[in-house]
Amino acid sequence: MTELALKYGCNPNQKPSRIYMKEGELPITVLNGKPGYINFMDAFNSWQLVRELKAATGMASAASFKHVSPAGAAIGTPLSDVEKQIYFVDTEEELSPIACAYIRARGADRLCSYGDWVALSDTCDAQTATYLKYEVSDGIIAPSYTDEALEILKSKRKGGYTVIQIDPDYEPAAIERREIFGITFEQGHNNLKIDEEMLVNIVTENKELPQQAKLDMIVSLITLKYTQSNSVCYVKNGQTIGVGAGQQSRIHCTRLAGNKADNWFLRHHPKVLGLQFVDGIRRPDRDNAIDVYTSDEYEDVLAEGVWQTKFKVKPEPLTAEEKKAWIATQSGVTVGSDAFFPFGDNVERAKKSGVAYIAQPGGSIRDDHVIDTCNKYGIVMSFTGIRLFHH
């Protein structure tokens, strides 16, 4: 198949729409559903991310995409008991690496992952499909599916869930083209390989970069490579915990991603873990309730007549003082940036979310100030020398 007609483009008024190959066959097979234009944009960007993450780490990898940027990405390390609780995993059995990878990717920012596009580096198994069955999601791309997994996925969305299989050996042409306003742009495909060699230029006084931090830097940089710029990514234990995408200001990226990282960590707070939801609550309603409860608008979900629709027992508020104290205990977080930090304020904000390691290109006229700010807090910073803009 060299061409696939689509219902419409980014919007219903943008017709006709299709994907096609100028030479050769399309490297995908639609196993179920009717993917659209944006679905394929998410599919191909997310597939590149998980493919590169698997190649760089040797571990099963997954991503949860929304609007051509990752809401979350992760490698398939085992889930702790607390992680199972905050990601709502209702099983005692040992989960496969690819299932763990997707659960962690989806759990990075469950609110933003609502209606996501899923990408898996490895075969989609029944465990992954079973977890995905109960999540609101638009579709999935993977190199293969077990028969059981495929049957589970085909049952989603009244049989209309989109399932795409991609040829794992497919490589894009060296030159890529796109049109904007009828004008063709051309550039070399971004085949930059991200690995530990990119992290050796440590410019801070503290040069102790443990293996886990190196792994987290790689996760952050590969994630940024497929995130709409400007972008900043916070990572902990092989999982993104905050992605700030598409902001015009670097500090706004850092704040946005940092706030998401804080929200992720607040979900570990004993008061959040102790929330007693009413029986039969829908997953999106539960996720929204947690998000509001941990925000400054917590009174909206604790109001009389409202809390009874969410909780069996009215929760005590999670006060600003409690949140600040809890977030202050966060540590060992890594931050990656797709371009240089122009000022030390980015480091100041990152530090508030427990950041101990930073990977960024360097090259600002204020690099000295950024380095000094890192030194003030004992943060380790690597200059990669490589920009990772993605548009």
User: Is there a contact between 275 and 311 (Cβ–Cβ < 8 Å)?
Assistant: yes
Is 390 among the residues known to form the active site? no
Q: Which two tokens stand for residue 17?
A: 């729409």
Is 67 among the residues known to form the active site? yes
List the beta bridge partners of residue 63: 73, 119
Is 346 among the residues known to form the active site? no
Q: Which two tokens stand for residue 20?
A: 């096609």
Q: Annotated catalytic residue: which of 54, 66, 225, 269? A: 66
List the beta bridge partners of residue 358: 335, 381
Is 230 among the residues known to form the active site? yes
Q: Annotated catalytic residue: which of 32, 39, 45, 230? A: 230
Q: Give, for 102, the enclosing helix (H) or strand (E).
A: helix 97-107
Work out the number of other CB atoms within 10 angstroms of the CB of residue 180: 7
| Residue partners of 278: CB distance under 8 A and separation at least 6 | 308, 309, 310, 311, 312
- Burial zone of 82 (CB within 10 Å; 0-12 exposed, 13-18 middle, 19+ buried): exposed
Q: Which segments of 172-328 does DSSP mark as H helices, in order?
A: 211-225, 250-266, 270-273, 283-293, 299-302, 320-327
299 conformational bin, left if phi > 0, alpha if psi -120 to 50, beta if neither: alpha
- ∠ CA 104-231-366 to the nearest 5 degrees? 130
- Enzyme catalytic residues: 66-67, 230, 391
